Amino acid sequence: MINPKTLDQVVIVGGGSAGWMTAAALSRLIGNGHTRITLIESEAIGIVGVGEATIPPIRHFNELLGLDERDFLRATQGTIKTAIEFVDWTRPGHTYLHPFGTYGADMNAVKFHQYWLKLRQLGQAEAFGEYNLCDVAARQNRFGPVARDRQSPVSSLHWAYHFDASLYARHLRRYAEQRGVQRIEGKVVDVHQRPEDGFIASVEMESGDRIGGDLFVDCSGFRGLLIEQTLKSGFEDWTHWLPCNRAIAVSSASAGELTPFTRSTARDAGWQWRIPLQHRIGSGFVYSADHLSEDEATSVMLDNLDGEPLNTPKPIRFTTGRRKQAWIKNCVAIGLASGFLEPLESTSIHITQAGISRLMALFPDKDFDPAGITEYNRQAEYLYRHIRDFIVLHYHANERHGVPLWDHCRNMAIPETLQRKLDLFRLKGRLFRYEDELFAESSWHAVLLGQNVMPDGYDPLVDAAPEDRIIDAFRQMHQAVAGAVASMPKHQTFIDQHCRAAMTAPPA
Amino acid sequence: MTGSAANPLSILIIGGGPDGWLTALAAHQAVAGLPGASVRIVHEEGPVCAPALSAPPDLRMLHGRLGLNDGDILARTGGAARLGRLFSGWRGDGQPDFIQPHGAIGANWGPLHFHQQVAAHGPGTDDYANYALAAQAIKQARFAPPSPNPRDFLSTLDFGFHLDCAAYTALLRDTARQRGIEACPGRVTAIETDETGLAGVTLDKSRYLKADLYIDATGPEMKLAAAINAACEDWSDDTPFLFEATRLETPRSPLTPATRIIADPAGWHMAIALPDATVTRRFTATADDGDTARLTPGRLRTPWSGNCLAIGGAACRPDPLADADLPLLARTLLRLPGLLPTGPDMRAEADVHNRAFTRESDAARDFSALVLGSQTRSEPVWRACRDAAPSDRLAHATALFKARGRLATREHDIYRPGDWVTAWLGLGVKPRRHDPLADRLDPAVASARLTQIRTLAEQTAAAMPDHQAALSRLKAGVPPA
């Protein structure tokens, strides 16, 4: 028996990866035999989705839907990602990786990196990344499952994907439509609210049709058709910490070996991404319009591509920040409609996915309990702020002296939450993280140490362990990582053997 | 400065109750092997705590870290097991007792909390706690240590302790001595301060001690903290029941493996059952007995200030209803090794601790507010308890729970989700409707699963030994069956 409070109709406004991820997840999880799901999208409105890089939680989302990894990679021109390479961020000529997974193994309840800090001073440690499986594998362009050995001092392999976001949306569209999601083609031209409480009653299409619903999910992107234009959520602007406000995206032909990592290269007025897909490379330049014109930005980007550009560079404008309330009345904003953080740490898809999980955990009925909405907004704000701090760190901890954008970022007052983390780390390399923060300690270590934020000391407990034992343990960890990586195939071989997309068969 | 070899760390703990000795063990373990580091404890003679302690499983977690054996503690101190708390008399409408069990209560299904499954597909939320093995064992007065085998239902059990405070303190003190911790009796007679905080303490007007880090474990006296930083929050307005009287009663049979929390027209008491005696701590609004002590609920605003860290009762004195003293202490001591200072400037370490501790003690304050604010007794003193405005955090959590039984996220919670849920449900605070996600479960499958868990809980409890017998076997050195 269906409870009379159960929603009759959910309307998702906007396709793209956010819209179809929402539709797919709802069709899978709401499945009560009663609630109908409709998605409105217009082929006339472009989607921002270009080559997307992701972080490991995307695998949970795909597993939740029951997607087969190889089918998914085949359908989306997908490749494997185990790290991000940061080129010239610390200073020109400097490179480091932010890999997934952990570094080495903790010993005597003291963190691995603390021992590393000491051995580094003694000249007895390899580079930090040599103790991380994903880091070493990425630099050798290798990827493949490693046998899990519980005794091994090496953490298990973690990975995410690069894929074509519009192909991912198409893949999920097929999935959602098979599970009863109805797609309506067309543009929304008007929004109608209930006079008594301002809840959204229906959206009006160009054709004059009105689509009514109980819950509206705003996946309309930056403009926030429902959440902002209709419901006036308001926007918390973070441009003073993250001054970039433009991007240009382009695809180029692949050249050279297929890498299993995203590359981010710092430029004077921003940074350029490089996302390797099976059939091409997705590139883009995120920059500050205060420091560079669009023409200049376009030429900087085109000068730095792997191969020939395959399309006209597409400009994108954005303002970094978050929607003050992601959920208002009967409208939830998911994806870019809920806010924007530049994709420096590949979090766009994750923010979408987290919004969907949160919506599932707090799925409303016709009462739209206000406490549930408060909780949703609280959690959304928390996630945004945490990711923001992590991205601000990349800009702030730089040694690119004499370049206006970078001088500004190095000298600006950073968010208090980040300042506290930095102060504590600079002192003795300590980091305290709340359990539910997205980026684990190892991610903070990667970027802090990668960008040369070296602590003044290390944890005093490090000295409790005899040096020769630690040196020996480090040698074993290093060897274990190197050995595990040596047994992996090349990334390209892995793709060819398991999940090559139809259009990319290599020449015979 | 690099590392610490040039600057060995000395820690001085003042206070001789379980707080002080546990801190000494934790600090000693943390600096073990560290060249030049030292830990010293100054303990005062005389009574240091209530006759009996009631400790949730958090204390066991700390024991585990400190290498203390639980069976050993029960056997050597004449303690008893605690599988939860049993509340009586909190409902004015004559509704039955309720249990707040330790260990698992059923199992979640994805994001769907277990109580939602009971609400949607079981006999109703009143039955929620009965799916816990601990609840069944409490009803049958049985006890066995949890099984390490995750496929054994007995692995879902968790337990805390009822401990004779003097015997437990003696055991901790002996352990500290065996481990070579420097301990000396003495009384602090003078405290010297400087711009960094404490400069030194004088014992018995004769001996002068200095340290890098001072730990104040002197309980409500806050001897060290008071000398440099006594900015306190006073929580006396949270409860009218500020007068405590302690009694020893003859032991009851069977020996209940739970702390009973009993409300009556004039106040409430907790009954801590030990094999040789039951200790009751009764809390009332007036000092009508001769032998009462006045509670001083509250906390230090910055428990770690300068080079002085206040722990236990010196840092925070939550309402005893919150059951939070030992959980707060355990978290402080588990955090300490990661925050050992290496120089005189400890602000960054102190800041981390103070922030976490504030949230942890907020949780404690909210928990007692939940119980006092949601009980439904009709006497004026109890009615007045319901007029207090809850904190924003608690108001939000309660509203969220009342709507669809959902649980608000809380950073640094010291309770498990099931502790909040059993308190709400037990006091009659119920969701208006269950989570719509529960409707997606196949009713036949979900209800069969509930029956299976319930049966397992009952059968596993019935196969456990009698609590008293289990303790006798421990004492005699017989390993658990």
- pLDDT, one tens digit per residue, over A261-287 is 999 999 999 999 999 999 999 999 999
**Closest residue of B to A32, CA-based?**
B440
Residues annotated in a binding site of A for L-tryptophan: 345
User: Domain B10-460 belongs to what architecture?
Assistant: 3-Layer(bba) Sandwich (3.50)
Share of chain B above pLDDT 70, in %: 96
CB within 8 Å: A374 and B437: no
> Per the CB < 8 Å rule, is B436 touching A363?
yes
CATH number given to A9-79+163-237+320-386 = 3.50.50.60
Q: What is the pLDDT of residues A365-415, one digit of tens each?
A: 999 999 999 999 999 999 999 999 999 999 999 999 999 999 999 999 999
Mean per-residue pLDDT, B297-315 = 96
Residue A156 pLDDT: 76
Determine if the peptide bond prior to B254 is cis (ω within 30°). Answer: yes
What are the residue ranges spanned by the domains of chain A?
9-79+163-237+320-386, 96-157+392-491, 246-317
- CB pair distance less than 8 Å for A460 and B37: yes
pLDDT of B481 higher than 60: no
Percent of chain A with pLDDT over 70: 95
B392 close contact with A: CB closer than 8 A:
no
pLDDT over threshold 60, residue A81: yes
Q: Label each residue of A144-183 as H, E or C.
A: CCCCCCCCCCCCCCCCEEEEEHHHHHHHHHHHHHHCCCEE
Which residue in the set A424, A463, A465 is minimally distant from B5, CB to CB?
A463
Tell me whether residues B433 and A32 touch, CB distance under 8 A. no
Top residue of A64, A360, A368, A459 to mutate, by most chain B CBs within 10 Å, is A459
Using the Cβ of B66 and the Cβ atoms of chain A, whether some distance falls under 8 Å is answered with: no
Tell me whether B31 touches chain A (CB under 8 Å): yes
C-alpha–C-alpha distance, residues A177 and A37, integer Å: 10
Q: What is the pLDDT of residue A150?
A: 59
pLDDT band for A508, please (50, 70, 90 cuts): very low
Please tell me the predicted confidence (pLDDT) of residue A452.
95
Q: Within 13 Å and on the Cβ side, how many CA atoms surround A82?
A: 26
Average pLDDT over residues A232-243: 97
Give the C-alpha separation, A237 to A456, whole Å.
34
A372 vs B30: CB contact, 8 Å cut-off? no
Residue B439 pLDDT > 90, yes or no? no
Q: What is the pLDDT of residue B447?
A: 94
Predicted ipTM of the assembly:
0.84
Q: Residues of A within the annotated binding site for FAD? A: 15-18, 188, 336, 349
Angle at A50 between CA A49 and CA A55, to 5 degrees: 85
Tell me the CA distances in angstroms from B481 to B147, B154, B447, B465, one per residue in order.
11, 12, 33, 9
Task: Report pLDDT for B125.
Answer: 84
Q: Is A457's pLDDT higher than 90?
A: no
User: Do residue A460 and residue B351 have CB atoms under 8 angstroms apart?
Assistant: no
Taking the C-alpha atoms of residue B85 and residue B162, their distance in angstroms, rounded to an integer, is 11
Q: Return the pLDDT at B196.
A: 82
User: B111 to chain A: nearest residue by CA?
Assistant: A361
Interhelix angle B18-31/B165-178, rounded to 10 degrees, is 20
Substitution target from B116, B396, B439 for chain A, most A beta carbons within 10 A = B439
Is residue A81 part of the annotated active site? The answer reads: yes
Rounded to the nearest angstrom, the minimum Cα separation between A320 and chain B is: 26
B400 contact A CB<8A: yes
* pLDDT of B103 above 80: yes
Q: What is the mean pLDDT of residues B295-317?
A: 96
- Smallest Cα–Cα separation from A16: which of A231, A164, A214? A164
Judge whether B433 is closer than 8 Å to chain A, CB to CB. Answer: yes
Element housing A237 (H / E): strand A235-237
Q: CB B352 to CB A424 under 8 A?
A: yes
Q: Which residues pair with A236 in a beta bridge?
A: A322
Q: Does the pLDDT of residue B5 top 70, yes or no?
A: no
**Inter-chain CB proximity A461 and B3 less than 8 Å:** no
Spell out the residues 6+ positions from residue B472 whose beta carbon is closer than 8 angstroms to its own: none
* Identity of the residue in A5, A121, A363 whose CB atom sits nearest the CB atom of B433: A5
So where are chain B's domains? Answer: 10-460
Task: Give this prediction's pTM.
Answer: 0.90
Residue A48 exposed, middle or buried by CB count within 10 Å (0-12, 13-18, 19+)? buried
Paired sense of beta strands B84-88 and A51-53, if any: unpaired
Q: From the candidates A5, A81, A187, A232, which is the catalytic residue?
A: A81
Q: Quick one: which of A128, A134, A132 has its CA closest to A82?
A: A134
Q: How far is A306 from chain B (nearest CA, A)?
A: 44
Answer for the pair B119, B445: CB distance below 8 angstroms, yes or no: no
Nearest to B34 among A360, A420, A460 (CB): A460
Q: B442 at the A interface (CB within 8 A)?
A: no
Q: Is B107 on the interface with A (CB under 8 A)?
A: no
Identify the CA nearest to A97 among candidates A109, A111, A84. Answer: A84
Q: Which residues of B touch A356 (CB under 8 A)?
A: none
Residue A141: DSSP 8-state: T
Query: What CA–CA distance (Å, rounded) separates A455 from A471?
Result: 20
